Amino acid sequence: MSSPHLPDYTGGGIVNLVQSIATACGSSSRQYPPLATLSAAQLGKARHVVLLVVDGLGQRTLARHVAGPHLQHHLRGSMTSVFPSTTASAITSFMTGLAPAQHGLTGWHMHLEEIDQTLAILPLTPRTGPPGLLPSELPQRLFDHPSLFQTLDRESWVVTPQSIAGSPFNAWHARAAQTRAYRSLPEMFACLRELLQETTRSRYIYAYYPDLDSVSHHYGTDSREAQQTLRSIDVLFGNFLRDIRRSNSWVLVTADHGFIDSPTRRVISLDDHPQLAALLLRPLCGERRVAYCYVAAENRPAFEDYVRRHLARAAHLYLSDRLISAGWFGPPPYHPRLASRVGDYTLVMKDNWTIKDWLPGEKRFAMLGVHGGISDSEMRVPLIALLT
């Protein structure tokens, strides 16, 4: 099992890559240092900048499989994801240029005190009970950050799966960009090729591909299905590079997070710990690898004692405000509701352990591939970059 690896916001993380891109594309915002290995001055020499985010393509996944020779050939190094190393937090960073400390999105399940509900934040649907507001009504209530594209001084495009292109979350975070929806991997690369070839105007193009993440969750990170998905991406990526030669474009490929596998025997279910569940004010939030726990003040000594006696082999116990002040979510200034969104305690799972609770009526499902934690395999993502 790989060693712990905290996020880097000082020049070696995905937030810093987005800062380099933003500056190269005309943004005047300087919230973070640029990426140390790829400056805005370098990116600014090209007419176009393309960023392809392959969900779940961790550095370990790329390095272990020979299915990606084209991607590996243009590998410049690696970066860290954000904390937690998960799609909800990291994709928001790619689409805003902000760390979780500023955008305030801290995992798949989030308790939002402003609407007093726990939502799955990407689809904007409640974990339990009827929705208080429609998903289309929620972005203006919950999000106060601009999209990255609103800050850029060039034409911007978002290339995204048809299944999410029109979602309220995606529409909010793609403001000021034009959107192209695709239905398949070949169609995604065709969209990118057309956007680079049809104009002489400078463009920033952000593209997102989710399928490697989906198959890794279901089948595992080293599965035949995951390897085949990576192979398909790589072949089409190689063809794409051949087709756009001399387009004067920076082509960047990275990921929101990496993966580890967590077998069933390493899953802690709160069904087996009713005493612990009884100490919680609300169900767990966050992720299977990083769980936010809300505990009433009078129950905190009992909560800490139970975790230390029964879960110490599987989880590190932290006061959530300590993680904020230690910079895990990013540097200050902090989102005004950040503390309320990470609970009183955070369980950061060790090795390949996960923790899960199930609510009445929830459909139960296994998840072999997981992410969100601070292992090197989850946290480190590749930087693939070339100037065509």
Residue 36: the pLDDT is 97
* Domain span including residue 168: 14-260+374-387
Residue 1: the pLDDT is 46
Q: How many domains does the chain have?
A: 2
**How do residues 301-321 score in pLDDT, each as one tens digit?**
999 999 999 999 999 999 999
The pLDDT of residue 250 is above 60: yes
**How do residues 324-375 score in pLDDT, each as one tens digit?**
999 999 999 999 999 999 999 999 999 999 999 999 988 888 899 999 999 9
Residues 18 and 31 in one domain: yes
Number of other CB atoms surrounding residue 316 within 10 Å: 15
What values do phi and psi take at 373, rounded to 5?
-85, -165
Q: Return the ∠ at Cα 173 (arms to 136 and 335), rounded to 5°.
A: 95
Residues 350 and 380 in one domain: no
Residues 130 and 23 in one domain: yes
Percent of the chain with pLDDT over 90: 93
Residues 206 and 231 in one domain: yes
**How do residues 253-277 score in pLDDT, each as one tens digit?**
999 999 999 999 999 999 999 999 9
**How do residues 95-142 score in pLDDT, each as one tens digit?**
999 999 999 999 999 999 999 999 999 999 999 888 888 999 999 999
Residues 296 and 193 in one domain: no
Burial class of residue 307 in the structure, from the number of CB atoms within 10 Å of its CB (0-12 exposed, 13-18 middle, 19+ buried):
buried
β pairing state of 285-286 and 267-269: unpaired
The CATH number that applies at residue 297 is: 3.30.1360.180
Residues 236 and 320 in one domain: no
**How do residues 195-237 score in pLDDT, each as one tens digit?**
999 877 899 999 999 999 999 999 999 999 999 999 999 999 9
Residue 2 forms part of a structural domain: no
Residues 229 and 304 in one domain: no
Residues 326 and 229 in one domain: no
Residues 216 and 341 in one domain: no
Contact 258, 381 (CB under 8 A): yes
Residue 4 forms part of a structural domain: no
Residues 268 and 236 in one domain: no
Q: How far apart are CA 19 and CA 55, in angstroms?
A: 20
Residues 26 and 102 in one domain: yes
86: nearest Cα among 58, 63, 51: 58
| Torsion angle, alpha carbons of 312, 101, 180, 68, to 10 | -50
